[in-house]
């Protein structure tokens, strides 16, 4: 290939992907306070910190008992992964999935705008109505919209609504994010994990899912 | 649709998407110290804070002079948007783009693993070699890999390498992220912006791009 890098122009930095991962995880384990987490939870939190670039994230992460075990078991059994945003769906590393699990995001479905209008809510929330046929035993990954997490909690207040196996609740932001995650941990309709407060987002949601999907770190 | 939400089960929260955006931006402008930024930069920083859920992000954002103007002009003229990660590409709001700009991520190209081996670097870095035909006048959005940003700086040390119009440099993490962004601002081969330090990632990169693409906030 013409124009490819000439050795003279090389800057000094780590170019080995595996070494970068190992060094990153070592720095995180040296700096972050992970003492609250059990042996199942710790690698999930480490990978979320890695995605966020923020060791202080550890203080905001919370799990209901048995979450990691339930989520891992569901994924091994082929559970679909239901995502509130396309960025979450696109970040999931398909080769880490244990059972070629389907990854679904309904936000761009053409029925969503009408549904949002009928329900008087956001498109992110209304899109979850299209999850119903896939919800039983699924792993839910909400990494963007507080209204999506609130809507899911409302859906699950109905005893006939199918139950997901586990919920990753990491919506981000300034209006409703903290409140929706507090409500998830209060109600805990199924095993769940959250990042409390305003922090959240697709990167840490994806990191949690990728850590649950495969126990290998590098 | 059977099983749709019954009014009795509704939790109290803001369901109006426009109101959520407006309240969010008002909270950010009340809490964040934005005094360093000019009138062009301020909405970009606000949108990045919105995506991160972190008002303290403002202290880490830096621009070279004229960056916002150059990036906006390039996008209006149809510049391609070159992304280091699929999550960045998938987060860009296509309807905000002023000229149906092409959005390109070469990381999954089948030639990348061989190229990475030949160059002795990561796949994220090697993928940028495939940007060369699209690089002249492009807007670059690096939101994941420090090695990608380092590799771009090395490419641009070669005077025959085409110049992008502007670079958003927001790789995240613990190994090379801070260093690669410091190098970008030191060398400033073209107009650039960064989030200094370990923070970064696809969400804030996408937020910056979406703010540059369209001046409407809501």
Give the per-residue pLDDT at B147.
98
Of A12, A50, A117, A151, the active-site residue reads: A50
Domain that holds residue A140: 61-213
Query: Cα angle vertex A177, ends B211, B8, to 5°?
Result: 125
Comparing CA positions, the residue from B93, B121, B124, B94 lying closest to residue B109 is B124
For residue A176, give the nearest of B14, B122, B173 by CB distance. B14
Give the per-residue pLDDT at A10.
78
Q: Which residues of A touch B173 (CB under 8 A)?
A: 24, 50, 53
Q: Do strands A192-195 and A139-142 pair parallel, antiparallel, or not at all (unpaired)?
A: unpaired
Q: Is A130 on the interface with B (CB under 8 A)?
A: no
Distance from A200 to chain B by nearest Cα, in Å?
7
A63: tokens are: 């799990």
**Mean pLDDT estimate for chain B:** 96
- The stretches of B32-59 forming alpha helices (DSSP H) are 42-52
Give the per-residue pLDDT at B218.
86
- Specify the number of domains making up chain B: 1
Q: A22 lies in a domain?
A: no
Give the per-residue pLDDT at A218.
86
Complex ipTM:
0.95
A23: tokens are: 């060094």
pLDDT tens column, A134-168: 999 999 999 999 999 999 999 999 999 999 999 99
Q: Which residues of B touch A109 (CB under 8 A)?
A: none
**Mean pLDDT estimate for chain A:** 96
pLDDT tens column, A62-103: 999 999 999 999 999 999 999 999 999 999 999 999 999 999
Q: A101 lies in a domain?
A: yes
Q: A50 lies in a domain?
A: no
Interface A-B: count of C-beta contacts within 8 A: 173
- Give the pLDDT mean for B36-58: 98
Q: Is A93 on the interface with B (CB under 8 A)?
A: no
Angle between helices B202-213 and B42-52 (to 10 degrees): 150
Q: Is B18 on the interface with A (CB under 8 A)?
A: no
Q: B38 lies in a domain?
A: no
Q: Which residues of B touch A150 (CB under 8 A)?
A: 11, 13
- Give the pLDDT mean for B30-51: 98
**A50 has catalytic annotation:** yes
Q: A176 lies in a domain?
A: yes
B68: tokens are: 């916002």
């Amino acid at each position: 290939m013409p124009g490819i890098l000439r050795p003279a122009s090389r800057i000094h930095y780590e170019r080995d992907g595996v070494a970068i991962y190992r060094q990153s995880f070592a720095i995180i384990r040296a700096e972050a306070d992970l003492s609250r987490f059990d042996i199942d939870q710790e690698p999930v939190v480490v990978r979320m910190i890695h995605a966020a670039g923020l060791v202080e994230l550890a203080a905001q992460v919370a799990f209901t008992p048995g979450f990691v075990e339930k989520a891992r078991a569901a994924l091994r059994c082929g559970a679909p992964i239901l995502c509130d945003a396309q960025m979450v769906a696109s970040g999931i590393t398909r080769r880490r999935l244990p059972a070629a699990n389907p990854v679904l995001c309904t936000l761009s479905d053409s029925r969503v705008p009408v549904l949002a209008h009928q329900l008087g809510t956001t498109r992110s929330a209304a899109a979850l109505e299209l999850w119903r046929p896939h919800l039983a035993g699924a792993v839910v990954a909400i990494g963007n919209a507080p209204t999506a997490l609130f809507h899911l909690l409302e859906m699950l207040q109905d005893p006939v609504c199918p139950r997901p196996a586990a919920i990753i609740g990491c919506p981000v932001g300034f209006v409703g994010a903290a409140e929706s995650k507090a409500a998830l941990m209060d109600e805990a309709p199924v095993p769940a994990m959250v990042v409390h407060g305003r922090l959240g987002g697709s990167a840490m949601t994806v990191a949690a899912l990728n850590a649950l999907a495969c126990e290998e770190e590098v």
